C-alpha cells in the first residue's frame, strides 16, 4: 500500500489537472488495426493508447492488458473447441472448426475498436486532482484522460506523472 505524507497531500490539493497533464497525448483512430497500435505502443514505449473517433473525441483505450486478454480469450475458446473434437479416429481441418483462429495470426485485420476498453473515467482541466486520484484508486486505473467540454482528448495523466510530481 502506498502512503503519502500530509505535505504531499497538501501539494496535491494545490495542483491542477492542467499542470500535471501531458498535453497532446498520442492517440489513434478507431479505424486503425491492432498491429499498427502494437507497433506504435512499442515504438513510443507506452502501455496504453487512447482511441479517438473522427472528431478526436475519446471513445476508448487499448492497453497491453486488453491485447493479452483478447488473444487469451481466443486461445481458450480454440482449445475448448479442439478438445471437444479430439478423437484419434477423426480429424477436422482447423479452418472448418474455428476460422477465427486463422485470423489471430493476421492482426492487421483486427481493428482496435474490437479490442479496446471503453473508457470509464475522464476528467477536465478543472477536475480537482484529489478527486481524480480517488477515482484512479477505486477504478484501478493507471491513466486518466483529460478532455475538453466537447469530449475532445487534450491530455493524459499517468500514475507515473503523479509520482514524478511528488518526488521532484
**pTM to 2 decimal places:** 0.73
Q: How many alpha carbons lie under 13 Å from residue 4 in its C-beta half-sphere?
A: 15
Cell readout for 141 is 486505473
- As a 3-state breakdown, the chain gives helix, strand, coil percent values, each rounded to 5, of 50, 20, 30
Q: Which range in 5-9, 116-120, 143-147 is most confidently predicted, on average pLDDT?
A: 143-147
- The pLDDT assigned to 103 comes to 52
pLDDT tens by residue, 53-88 = 999 999 999 988 888 888 777 666 555 555 555 555
- The pLDDT assigned to 35 comes to 87
Amino acid at each position: 500500500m502506498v502512503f503519502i505524507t500530509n505535505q504531499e497531500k497538501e501539494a496535491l490539493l494545490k495542483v491542477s489537472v492542467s499542470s500535471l497533464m501531458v498535453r497532446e497525448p498520442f492517440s489513434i483512430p478507431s479505424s486503425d488495426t491492432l498491429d499498427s497500435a502494437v507497433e506504435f505502443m512499442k515504438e513510443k514505449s507506452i502501455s496504453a493508447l487512447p482511441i479517438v473517433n473522427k472528431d478526436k473525441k475519446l471513445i476508448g483505450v487499448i492497453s497491453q492488458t486488453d491485447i493479452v486478454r483478447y488473444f487469451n480469450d481466443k486461445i481458450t475458446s480454440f482449445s475448448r473447441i479442439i478438445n471437444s473434437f479430439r478423437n484419434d479416429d477423426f480429424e477436422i481441418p482447423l479452418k472448418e472448426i474455428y476460422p477465427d483462429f486463422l485470423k489471430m495470426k493476421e492482426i492487421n485485420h483486427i481493428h482496435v475498436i474490437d479490442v479496446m476498453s471503453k473508457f470509464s473515467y475522464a476528467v477536465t482541466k478543472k477536475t480537482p486532482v484529489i478527486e481524480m486520484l480517488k477515482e484512479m484508486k477505486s477504478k484501478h486505473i493507471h491513466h486518466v484522460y483529460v478532455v475538453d467540454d466537447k469530449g475532445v482528448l487534450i491530455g493524459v495523466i499517468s500514475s507515473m506523472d503523479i509520482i514524478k510530481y511528488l518526488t521532484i
